Amino acid sequence: MRYAFHLTIRKGLEDEYDRRHSAVWDDMKRMLKVAGISNYSIFRDGTDVFGYWECTDLDRTLALVNGSEINARWQKFMNDVIITSPSERTSNGMREVFRLD
C-alpha cells in the first residue's frame, strides 16, 4: 500500500523543520519500522511538505503510529513548526491519481 501526505509548516521555520528531520529520534524510527512502514521519504518545497511511505496494512499501520507514545511526543515536538493539526498529519492521506510502474 502506498501512502502520501501533505502538510504545511510555518513561514520562516523551513530550516528548523529540516534541522529536526536531520536528527529524527531513534525511538521514532524504530516505531515507524515496527508499524510496518518502509520506503519513507519527505520532500519540502517552501512551506509545503509532502511525505510518502509504503506498508502492507494501512489501517494497522495508522493505528500503531497514531496510538504510539513516541509519535505523540514527536507531534508535540513539531507543533511549533507545523501549521497542519496533529490529527491531520497522519490521517487517511492523499488520494493517488496517477501511477507509472
Catalytic site positions: 21
- Closest CA relative to residue 1, chosen from 64, 58, 65: 58
Using the Cα atoms of residue 90, residue 14, residue 83 and residue 99 in order, give the sign of their dihedral. Answer: negative
- Residue matched to cell numbers 507545523: 82
What whole-number distance in Å separates Cα of residue 55 and Cα of residue 29? 15
Using the Cα atoms of residue 14, residue 16, residue 22 and residue 25 in order, give the sign of their dihedral. Answer: negative
